[in-house]
Structure 1
């Protein structure tokens, strides 16, 4: 972790986010308890790298440390007491984690006067964080209502739905809209079109901000 600094933190951060996406896809492609046990440490490592990469935004870093600590407690609680409440607590904390990461990343890349490779990579990371954050929200909606989305077979554990929900989130964020997954409840519909709007505005706001900073 000592090699992560302000000139490369978003490179590590982006790689860790991509690792989370790949791990989710692999766990769905090759199901099995043994593989799950192998992938869990990799997921944990990716989250640690995410957290460590955010240490340069002091206020939000403290927030993320607190949320991460609560997540560890929630995971432990879920292991001991497998209940819907523990499940919802984990998802809520995950959503809070991605919110903090989003705020920290915005502060570091949009409020800067210098645009370099690390900043540009940070803009990619910010997009990935948005997609993962909305995915966490969709998982919460599914936890409340298993029929919130068409095309997603609700599993007993939200981890099994993670890859599909994340796929749908990025399809929505990029406004591709393949149609294989669709909202099936009023709350899900609102969340989906808000994400689509966010994706459109992201391109306009972030690109224009970075171009302005580069010219300045």
Structure 2
């Protein structure tokens, strides 16, 4: 894996994360959902390895997946002790760190190629996951933020629901089955919708346009 194909692996890792979370929610009980949320840390580690460079393991940002992995090993005890927000904050830090590393490679290095187009898609998926963690934290802290959600749910049952809600929001589908009521929750929702639309309309369109122009110029030479 190097910077020429790393986003292929990152795309696979993120899709596997989303698929496994949905499958655990549909086919297994809460204990399995907890297990899946913990074991998907390994998938996230794969994503980290491919974000920037071979020396990424030596960078400070690697502390986040290591911390997540250690916390995941003790997830049962931490949840019982009320430290589920701590796990989510680590997860949020890791998603943000990965998104920043991805954005730097997509936006500020070299020519636009197919790998960077995939990187732009990965960044979009990471944005959806970042907001999903934010919604989960908000619901845990203020149980009335999303009335459709149970106020007694654990983070590992809320998180898959908010992954769904986050991607429905960022794509502005707005099915209406989950809706915010508190002001801060509403702010996060409409901010995600705005960011998502501008991202697709400006950044991804520009990257694809630059790639097509590059291909056309090569053909005319």
Superposition TM-score, scaled by structure 2 size: 0.85
2:81 equivalent in structure 1: 83
User: What is the deviation of 1:64?
Assistant: 2.8
CA separation of 1:114 and 1:57: change in aligned 2, threshold 3 A = farther
Q: Report the Cα distance in structure 2 between the residues aligned to 1:104 and 1:169, rounded to whole angstroms.
A: 22
Q: Report the Cα distance in structure 1 between the residues aligned to 2:59 and 2:176, rounded to whole angstroms.
A: 40
Given the alignment, which residue of 115, 137, 142 partners 2:139? Answer: 142
Q: Determine whether 1:193 maps to 2:186.
A: no
User: What is the deviation of 1:71?
Assistant: 2.1
1:62 equivalent in structure 2: 59
Q: Which moved more, 1:204-213 or 1:20-29?
A: 204-213
Does the 8 Å CA contact 1:155/1:161 hold for their aligned counterparts?
no
2:101 equivalent in structure 1: 104
Given the alignment, which residue of 4, 8, 11 partners 1:7? Answer: 4
CA separation of 1:126 and 1:49: change in aligned 2, threshold 3 A = same
Q: Report the Cα distance in structure 2 between the residues aligned to 1:88 and 1:161, rounded to whole angstroms.
A: 12
How many residue pairs end up in the alignment? Answer: 212
Q: Report the Cα distance in structure 2 between the residues aligned to 1:192 and 1:34, rounded to whole angstroms.
A: 29
Q: Which moved more, 1:42-51 or 1:97-106?
A: 42-51
Structural mapping, 1:1-216, within 5 Å: 4-32=1-29, 35-36=32-33, 39=36, 42-56=39-53, 62-76=59-73, 78-81=75-78, 82-84=80-82, 86-211=83-208, 213-214=210-211, 215=213
Superposition TM-score, scaled by structure 1 size: 0.87
CA RMSD of aligned residues (A): 2.4
Q: Which moved more, 1:161-170 or 1:43-52?
A: 43-52
Q: Report the Cα distance in structure 2 between the residues aligned to 1:103 and 1:7, rounded to whole angstroms.
A: 18
User: What is the deviation of 1:42?
Assistant: 4.7
CA separation of 1:207 and 1:57: change in aligned 2, threshold 3 A = farther
Does the 8 Å CA contact 2:52/2:101 hold for their aligned counterparts?
no
CA separation of 1:213 and 1:60: change in aligned 2, threshold 3 A = farther
**Structure 2: stretches of 5+ with no match in the other structure:** 215-221
User: What is the deviation of 1:69?
Assistant: 2.3
| 3-state secondary structure, aligned to 2:131 | helix
CA separation of 1:57 and 1:143: change in aligned 2, threshold 3 A = farther
Bigger Rg, which one: 2
Does the 8 Å CA contact 2:88/2:133 hold for their aligned counterparts?
yes
